[in-house]
Chain A
Amino acid sequence: MLARYLLQRLLAAIPTLFILLTLAFFMIRLAPGGPFDGDKALPPEIQANLDAKYHLDEPLGKQYLRYLGMIVRGDLGPSFQYREYSVTELIAQGFPVSLKLGFSALAVALLFGVAIGSIAAWRQNTRTDYLLMGAAMTGIAIPNFVLAPLLVLGVAITLGWLPAGGWNDGAWRNMILPVTALALPYMAYVARLTRGSMVETLGSDYIRTARAKGLPEWQVLIKHALKPAILPVVSYLGPAAAAIITGSVVIEQIFGLPGMGRYFVQGALNRDYTLVMGVVVFIGVLIVVFNLIVDLLYALIDPRIRY
């Protein structure tokens, strides 16, 4: 049953990805300027050779078909900007960094967010609740391009405890600040989500029953209330995971991390057609996969859902 469901979902994703790819392909080419334009004007012969080498001299329709053919074979083509590298290589180098960073941030956000939200709900309308939710609102409101430099200034420069930037093969010392900066807004959001649904769950009949049975409070909370209460968090996880892994452009810039987020921005600015397309396709696939995983998780947690 599950296998059939998976297959259905994956097949349904193909037209979505196809539309995404087509739109992206024509939109980036509609943007004025080409990949080899620069402050210096190129001699026509060299321009022609470059265009021919990358098939930019062909009609757009033909280029599109050629690109589709490449995608089907799993080839994302060479980067125009980084001519010594293929797009696949660039993504293969950047993705593990983004993945490690993103998952660490997501784990931190989940762990602390759920804990904070639960405590706030448990102590609903007390000073603890207001304090925690106030902090969470602040966390959501402060953009990470403000938060990250502040963290660097305080922890790395004034205190000198941690490096101000660099990846260093993902050493934990280099991870702490970017992960914190990346996790905080998500953590705050998760905390608010958890609190909301936890408040609702704690008010339901079966919790009253559990309490009436004389169960210790921690058992009521963790064993009975938490599981249904984090369902909204789980459904938020899919898009959040995709966004956190691919959208850490700002954090990558500020901390000088070699992730793939900035290829998206740089690729578009440089009119690096193949790089932009490669990243778009890759992120598209990633979002489809994450949403699928979330749906499967749902079935695992919520006994009412079966595939």
Chain B
Amino acid sequence: MLSISPRFLPGLRTGVLLSSLFAIALLSGCSGGTAAFDDDAATSAQQRWNLPELRFTEDGLPHPDILAERQVLHRGNGSQPQGLDPHLTEGVPDANVQRDLFEGLVSAGPDVVLGPGVAERWEISEDGTRYVFHLRRDAKWSNGEAMTSADWVYSFRRVLDPQTGSKYAMILSPIVNARQVMGGELPPEQIGVTALDDYTLEIRLNAPAPYFLELLTHNSAYPVHRASVERHGDAHARAGNLVSNGAYRLEELVMQSHIRLVRNPHYYDNHRTIIDEVYFYPIEDQAAELKRYRANELDMTYEVPNAQFDWISANLGDELTVSTYFGTYYFGFNTSRAPFDDIRVRQALALTIDRDIITDKLTRFGEVPAYSFTPPGVPGFDYASVQPEWAGWSQQQRNEYARELLAQAGFDEANPLALEIRYNTHQNHKKIALGIAAMWKQALGVRATLINEEFRVFLANRRQRSLTQVVRIGWIGDYLDPTNFLDLYHSQNAQNDVAYEEPRYDALLAQAAVTADPAQRMRVLEEAERTLLGDYPIAPIYTYVSKRVVKPYVRGWQPNASDHHRSRHMYILKH
């Protein structure tokens, strides 16, 4: 899966992308012609830009005749990364750059189907708790030094060591003793990662975790170069110091301006890399980013401004790509406060949110109405079985039922329900909160007050659970597994901002954690999701999308649910 194989390319802009691991329906047929993955658009772009016919060599690489002379890629990348040490950062822009600089034991193709990374193959024990990785002998650091299993042992110990202060290390909790090491109860040497020999690495897990291989593609599981870390400390990931192991190495980093990566000649698959240089630009202002794209200073943007949907679809329709993102936008009800401790109130509110209006009229980029908390994309998870019965009803039926529920809870015209919707200051959140407030007023006579707060004030209030009533929450998953979402509402989870406490739910999560059979495990998780949805501590609203414009001459990438796009898979056509 590592190489660019021609198989990927014709499917690049077609309607539905089906891959063995992730079956994500891209949003081609959405109302109003949201995204343009249809072949007509691709053809017209091909003609307009005078792009060559695609041809490939025998190894599946694009034929040199169709490639542009300068293979330099300019990518818009959101905000300035906090840094490039893969163990310290948590931002999406940071991870985008790190994905080009580093490679984990496991990697993924342009369609994010997992494949070999630095480990060329691996074995998993029957009970799913012991992984043995066989490392490539030709894997090298960007300074030419060989990589061995000792590098991996060091890196896993470092990320889990509380002294390192990694904000994301908990993602590696399935590893034996990882939690105890993070908690300072055991020394980092005690984690279940062992070098069996120079090129064989063993990782032991507490319990089977079918998503573990995918975790290994996360930046927390990237290797760092021990000698550099020991010599430069916190500054080891700066330009001039950073030694990495991916297809690119860090050439230049100008804060708030750009990051420039160049080809790493020591990368084992370097002969298959086509893009020579990659520029990442931190551009927070989406309108400014779009302008730089239109001025041909960027080949692909990080996002596109929501407010400019009409203009973009009219003028850049065939350059716009939209795909569902593994994340859910939802409202939470603080169940520790009256009247939200009454399930009837919560259910009534959840039912009367007209999700179709929100996605069609407000967000508009092809977001999908959500009736489950776990967003679409998890293989083997039966979404139909977890959705509430009313998902099949008309909005009118839902509203009628909601009115009954609210009346039972003691609210009517004489005694209307008054509540506060709290969200962090942002135009989109405001629009959605206003829309939902109007729906609640119309359907239930609810008097909603909108409160917006600066992000950290909002987070602090949400976490305290004393001030809040209805809160906006968004969650983007790091790996395609329901636990990435469902764990949030375990009674002991620090992020359980809605004070949901249900022993049965906790028990189901605990049961799933020890269920070795993957199919059986999914059944348990479905039951957990049904429990959560049935108790209404939260009301899922829509599934996020990733959306950007990409120049038609940039090929070799695919829209995907993780929104991961490694530069080494891409190439630039003559244009």
A interface with B by C-beta (< 8 Å) = 31-34, 36-46, 48-50, 53, 78, 81-85, 90, 93-94, 149, 152-153, 156-157, 160, 163-167, 252-259, 262, 266, 269-271
Contacts and interface: CB of A to CB of B under 8 A. Distances in A.
A163 B297 CA distance: 8
6 contacts: A33-B457, A46-B182, A49-B163, A83-B82, A157-B294, A256-B292
Contacts of B162: 43, 45-46, 48-49
Contact of B82 (A39, A81, A163, A166): A81
Contacts of B255: 82, 85, 90, 93-94, 258
B165 A49 contact: yes
Given A94-B256, A255-B288, A256-B292, A37 B88 contact: no
A163 B287 CA distance: 15
B182 A262 contact: no
Given A32-B457, A271-B456, A42 B285 contact: no
Given A37-B460, A258-B256, A43 B170 contact: yes
A240 to B, nearest CB: 24
A88 to B, nearest CB: 13
Contacts of A153: 291
B405 to A, nearest CB: 31
Given A83-B85, A166-B281, 9 more contacts: A33-B460, A39-B459, A41-B463, A46-B162, A85-B255, A149-B287, A166-B292, A256-B288, A269-B456
B486 to A, nearest CB: 16
Interface stretch (B230-238, B507-515, B562-570): B230-238
B168 interface: yes
Main secondary structure of the interface of A (DSSP, over half): loop
Contacts of B288: 149, 152, 164-165, 253-256
Contact of B295 (A93, A156, A259): A156
Contacts of B163: 49
Contacts of B463: 41
B284 interface: yes
Contacts of A157: 291, 294-295
A85 B234 CA distance: 8
Given A41-B494, A165-B283, A160 B182 contact: no
A258 B282 CA distance: 10
Contacts of A36: 167
Given A43-B183, A84-B238, A160 B295 contact: yes
Nearest to B74: A166
Contacts of A262: 256
A40 B167 CA distance: 8
Nearest to A148: B288
Contacts of A164: 288, 291-292, 294-295, 297
Interface in B171-204: 182-184
Given A84-B83, A253-B284, A257-B257, A45 B459 contact: no
A31 B291 CA distance: 35
Contacts of B494: 41-42
Contacts of A45: 162, 182-184
B61 to A, nearest CB: 32
A79 B183 CA distance: 25
* 6 shortest interchain CB distances as A-B pairs: A33-B456, A41-B494, A164-B295, A258-B256, A258-B257, A32-B460
Contacts of B493: 41
Contacts of B165: 46, 49-50, 53
Given A93-B255, A166-B258, A82 B460 contact: no
Nearest to A167: B257
Interface centre among A83, A84, A165 (most CB of B within 10 A): A84
B558 interface: no
Interface in B291-315: 291-292, 294-295, 297
Contacts of A94: 255-256
Nearest to B476: A39
Interface of B: 80, 82-85, 88, 90, 162-163, 165-170, 182-184, 234-235, 237-238, 254-258, 281-285, 287-288, 291-292, 294-295, 297, 454-457, 459-461, 463, 474-475, 493-495
Contacts of B474: 39
A149 B163 CA distance: 46
A252 B283 CA distance: 10
A85 B88 CA distance: 13
Contacts of A38: 90, 167, 459
A87 to B, nearest CB: 12
Given A90-B255, A163-B297, A166-B292, A82 B282 contact: no
A34 B505 CA distance: 31
Contacts of B183: 43-45
B282 A256 contact: yes
Contacts of B237: 84
Contacts of A255: 288
B497 to A, nearest CB: 9
A117 B237 CA distance: 53
A83 B88 contact: yes
Contacts of B475: 39
A256 B283 contact: yes
A41 B475 CA distance: 13
A223 to B, nearest CB: 45
A291 B84 CA distance: 40
A235 B473 CA distance: 50
A176 to B, nearest CB: 14
A31 B254 contact: no
A23 B183 CA distance: 37
Given A33-B459, A46-B166, A81-B82, A258 B254 contact: yes
A126 B282 CA distance: 49
Contact of B90 (A31, A40, A53): A40
A273 to B, nearest CB: 12
Nearest to A270: B456
Contacts of A258: 254-257
A41 B494 CA distance: 6
B457 A31 contact: yes
Nearest to A261: B256
A160 B354 CA distance: 45
A93 B253 CA distance: 11
Contacts of B166: 46
B564 to A, nearest CB: 19
A256 B281 contact: yes
Contacts of A163: 295, 297
B324 to A, nearest CB: 20
A276 to B, nearest CB: 13
Nearest to B493: A41
A78 B167 CA distance: 18
A83 to B, nearest CB: 6
Contacts of B254: 93, 167, 258
Contacts of B168: 40
Interface centre among A33, A156, A259 (most CB of B within 10 A): A33
Contacts of B85: 83-84
Given A157-B295, A165-B283, A82 B83 contact: yes
B404 to A, nearest CB: 36
Contacts of A81: 82
Contacts of B184: 45
Contacts of B454: 269
Contacts of A83: 82-83, 85, 88, 234
Interface centre among A40, A149, A255 (most CB of B within 10 A): A40
Nearest to B464: A32
A149 B291 contact: yes
A165 B90 contact: no
